[in-house]
Chain A
Amino acid sequence: MSTPPHSGRPDPRGYPPHQEQPQVYIPQQPTAGQQAYGQQAYGQQTYGQQDYAQQDHGQQSYGQQEFGQYAGQQYATAPGQSQYGHYGQSAAQQYPPLYDVDQDAEYADYYVPEYTVLEPEPEPEPDPGYVLPEVPVSSWSVDNSRSAWISRGALVLILLVQAGLSFRLGGSAFAQEAKFLMSDGELSGLISRFGLTGARSLSLAWALGATALLFGATRLLFNARAGLAAAAVYSVLESTAFTGRYASTHSLSLFLLAASLWLLARTRQAGPLAVLPAAPFAALAPFAAYSAALYLPTLTVLAVLTAHRSRGIGAFARGGLFAVATGALCAVGVRLVGMPGGWRALGDDSAFGLLEQSAKWSGVALLVAVIGAVGYVRRARMGEMPWAGGAVQGTVRRAALGLTMCATPLLAPLYQAWLGNGSSLHIHVGFGLLFAVPMAGLGVSRMMGAHFRYPQIGIMVYVAALVIGMAQTRELYRPPDSAAVIGALRDVVDDKGSYLSDDPEISAYYLRAQTRPGQWHQADRGAALSAAVEKHSYDAIVLRSATVPEALRGDEDYRQLAVVRPAGKGGTQEPYRIWVKR
C-alpha cells in the first residue's frame, strides 16, 4: 500500500509534509466507497469474490487476474468508484490535481536533494551442492508423518482382513500339503516340529508380507492412496486367501516376486546397478513355485519402465542388467537343484473352461486395473494439487506401464489353457494379479476421484471384490475331510504293515506316530488295483470311491471295514472306503 507519509519528516521521495492533504482527500473516500458498496450489495453485484477483491486492495491483483472482466464492468458502471479503484494502483496519478501551482511556490525554499537509487548487484547464486530428485507428488494434501501413519494404520487393517479371510479356512491337510510337510528335506524337518499349523502360519506370514510389499511398490510407483487400494483389492482375492492358508511354497514365491517388484520401485531413481538387489528375489521365486517363472519377463519390462523417468536411455541398461543377473542366478539354481517340476504337463482340460474360470477369479481386479490404466494413460495425475507441478511420465511410457500390468494376469490362464492343464490355476492367477493390482489400485483411486469425491465407488469395488473373493474361496478351498478315516485307520495300522491308499501322503502325515511314510503306497484303479488286490500284499486298502470297485467286490481276502463319509452336508467328496485283510 502506498500510503503517503503523514509525519513531519521530509518525504524521501520529495513530497513535502502536507497535513491538510487528508482533509482534502478523505471526505471523498467514504462517499465513493459507500456508493460502490451500496451498489454492489443491492444492485448488480452477484459475485462475492468481487466484493472481496475490492475491499482488500492487497488482493486486487489476484481479483483482477481471476475476474478481470467483471471488475472492469464494475468500474465502468459505478461512478466515483473508478477513482477509488485506481487509488491502489497509482496513487501518484491521483495526487497531482490537489497540488496547484501556488502550493508549489509556497514550498520552493526547501532544499530538494537530487539522488539516484542504485539497484544493488544481485548476489550470485551459489552452485547447488545437492539437488533434490524429482519427487512424485502425493495425492494427500500434505505428505507428512501423520499421513504416513494413517496409511500404515489402514494397511494394518487390510492385513487383518486378509488374515481373517485366510483363517476362515479350516480343515485337515490337503494331500499336497501333507506331502510338502513329509518329504521336502530340511525344510520339512524344520516345519514338522510345528506341524501343519506352523507351516500354514508361515504361509500366512509370507502372504501378508507380499501384500505389504505390494502396498509399498504401488505407493512408490503412484501414490499412497493407490497403494492402499491395491493392497485392499489384492487382500480379498480368492488366490490370496488360498495361498495364505495353504501350506505350500506358493506364498513364499509370491512374496519373492513382490519383494523384487518393491525393490524395482525403490531403486527407480538410482543408477542401473541399483537394480541388482532385485534380481536374487526374482530368481528364487521360480524355485519356490515354478509358475513364478512366467513373470520374470514382466519384472524385466517393469525394470525398464519404472526407471525411465529418471534415467532416460539408461533404463534399458537397467532392464538388461536385471534380465542378465536374474537369468544367471536361475541358471545356477537349475545347475544346483535341477529344473523346477510341473512346467509343461499337458492335460485335457477345456481351454475355454479354464479361461472362463480365470475370468471369474480375476475379472473384477483386472477390470479395475484396465480402468486405472486407461485413466492413467489419459492423465498422469488427477490434478488434486494444481500448484504441484513437476515432471510426469510421457504418454507412451504410461501406456506401456498400463499395458504391461494389465496383460500380465493373462499369462497364466493363457499358458495353462494352451497346455490344457488346469492344475492349481486358481492359485496361479494370483501371481499375475500381483502385477495388475497396482494399476487396479490406481483405478480405484481414479474412480473415487480427486479429494475422495466418490468414496462410494471405492467402497463398492472393495465390497464386490470381498464378496466374490470369499464365495470363491469357500468353493475352492475344500480340503479332504480325513478326520474320520484317520480315526478309523488309527486302530488298523501298525509300524509293520503295508498299506494302499488314494491319499498316502495324508495318512502318512497324520499317522506319522504309528507308521513310516514308506509303508503307504499310492492306490490306482482298474487293472493295477486288481493286481494289487490279487497280490494280497497290503494289510489295508483305503480308497476314495462312491462305489465298491470291481476288484474288491466279493473279494475273499479283504473285508470292507468301514465307509467313511465326509462330515459336511452337500459336500462333493466321495466317501473313504477301508478294506482290511480278513
Chain B
Amino acid sequence: MNRKALLPLCAALVALTGISGCGMLGGDDDPAAKAAHAPAADSSGSSAAKAPYDVTGLLHPDKEYFGVAVDGAPSSMKPVDAFAGTVGKKPNLVGSYSAWGDGFNAPGARNVFDDGGMLYVSWEPFKPGLDKIADGSQDAYIKKYAESVRTTDVPVAISFGHEMNGHWYPWGTKKTTPETFVAAWKHIHDVFQEVGATNVIWVWSPNVVNPVRSVQLKPYWPGDAYVDWVGIVGYWTTTGAHTFDTLYGPSRRQIEGFTDKPVLISETSAEPGDRRRADVRALLDGVRQDDDVIGFLWFNIPKRADWRIQSSPLALAEFKRLIADDAFGFEVPRP
C-alpha cells in the first residue's frame, strides 16, 4: 500500500469512529431521568423498566364491585358477555376456581383485565394439606404460581382456602386447625412478597357463621398485614336468613372485632323460589347502602341448585333494575 492511500484510509477510519461514537452518543440516554418525568408506559421501554401494577387504588373503590362466576370464564369471555347482556351491565370482577396444583390462569387474568375487569381466584387446597403448605414443602409450586401472577402484571384477587370455618372442605374445621390455616396463609403471602407479586389483592373469605355458630372466626384471621379484603360467602336460601343483616350481620360483627378491612360479598346467589326476587333486592340494596361493603360476586352456575339469575324471570327483572344503578360496576383502571 502506498503512502497516498494511507492518509485517506486514516481519515476514513477517523470518520467511521467518529460516526459510530456519535451514534452511541445519540443512543445514550438516561432511562431514570426519563422515568422521573414521563409515565413509564409512555417511554415504550421494556416491560421490566415499568413499575408493576399498583393495586392500592383498587382496595377502597368509590363504587361497588359487580362480580360474576360463570362456567367457561375467564378462559373465554363469551359467557361473561352473555351474562352482561342478560342483566344489562358488564361485571368488573370475574370469579374462578383454581385447585392446588393448577397453574395460574394467566391468559384468563389478562382476558378479564383487557375487558375492564379483574380476575377473582378461589384457590382451593384440596391436597396435600395446609400443614404441608405451611412447612415450605410446597414452595416450588407457590413460587411458580406467584411468578406467573407477577409477570402477568394485571390485578388479581386471590382467596385462599375459602369457607375455612366450615367442615365441608378438606381444609375446613374437621381436618385442620386455625393455627395451621393461619400459618399456611402467612407462608403463601410471604412467598408472594419475596417473589414480588404485589399485584395481588388478598381476600380472606369465611362462610357466614350462621350454619356453624360454634366456630369462632378470630383464630382464622392471619392479620391486617396479610389480608386486603374480607370476603364473606353467604347464599340466600329458601330456608335461611332473608335480610342483608340477618344473613351477613352475625359474621360481620365478629369480624369487626379484629379488623376494619373492606368487606366483599365474595360468593352469593339466591335459591330459586318465591322469595328469590325479594332476596335479590335485599342483597343489592344492602351492598349499595353499606359503606363498608365494596361489592358482591354472583355465583351464576347451576350446581346442586340452579343459581343462575336467568332461571327466574321475575328475579332477573329485579336484578336488572337494581344493578342498573350507577353505584354498581366500574372499569378497573389501566396503568
Contacts and interface: CB of A to CB of B under 8 A. Distances in A.
Interface of A: 153-154, 156-157, 160-161, 163-164, 167-168, 170-173, 195-197, 481-488, 490-491, 506, 510-511, 513-514, 547-548, 553-556, 559-567, 575, 577, 580, 582
B174 interface: no
Interface of A is mostly: mixed
A168 B17 CA distance: 12
Contact of A562 (B45, B198, B224): B198
A556 B20 CA distance: 54
A82 B36 CA distance: 98
Interface centre among A163, A481, A514, A554 (most CB of B within 10 A): A554
A511 B32 CA distance: 10
Given A513-B36, A560-B198, A563-B52, 4 more contacts: A157-B17, A482-B35, A506-B32, A567-B46
B51 A564 contact: yes
7 contacts: A164-B20, A170-B29, A196-B33, A482-B32, A487-B50, A510-B32, A564-B51
Interface stretch (B117-125, B189-197, B272-280): B189-197
A483 B10 contact: no
Interface string B296-310: 000000000000000
Nearest to B37: A513
Given A511-B36, A548-B190, A567 B24 contact: no
Interface centre among A157, A167, A487, A556 (most CB of B within 10 A): A487
Contacts of B48: 484, 565-567
A562 B14 contact: no
Interface of B: 10, 13-14, 17-18, 20-21, 24-25, 27-37, 39-40, 43, 45-46, 48-52, 54, 56, 150, 186, 190, 193-196, 198, 223-226
B311 to A, nearest CB: 42
B325 to A, nearest CB: 30
B190 to A, nearest CB: 7
A509 to B, nearest CB: 9
Contacts of A565: 48, 196
Contacts of A511: 36
A173 B30 contact: yes
Contacts of A161: 17
A163 B22 CA distance: 10
Contacts of A487: 35-36, 39-40, 43, 49-51
Interface of B is mostly: helix
A561 B32 contact: no
Nearest to A564: B51
B36 A486 contact: yes
B129 to A, nearest CB: 23
A582 B14 CA distance: 58
Contacts of A556: 223-225
A484 B224 contact: no
A234 B190 CA distance: 51
A377 B17 CA distance: 37
A164 B30 contact: no
B30 A197 contact: yes
A534 to B, nearest CB: 14
B34 A164 contact: no
A32 to B, nearest CB: 45
A562 B54 contact: yes
Contacts of A164: 17, 20-21, 24
- The 10 A-B residue pairs with the shortest CB-CB distance, nearest first, are A563-B196, A488-B51, A172-B32, A483-B31, A487-B35, A487-B40, A567-B48, A167-B24, A164-B21, A510-B36
Contacts of A548: 190, 193-194
Nearest to B6: A150
A309 B213 CA distance: 105
A22 to B, nearest CB: 49
A160 B10 CA distance: 12
Contacts of A154: 10
Nearest to B40: A487
A160 B14 contact: yes
Contact of B40 (A481, A484, A582): A484
Contacts of B18: 160
Contacts of B226: 554
Contact of A160 (B17, B51, B150): B17
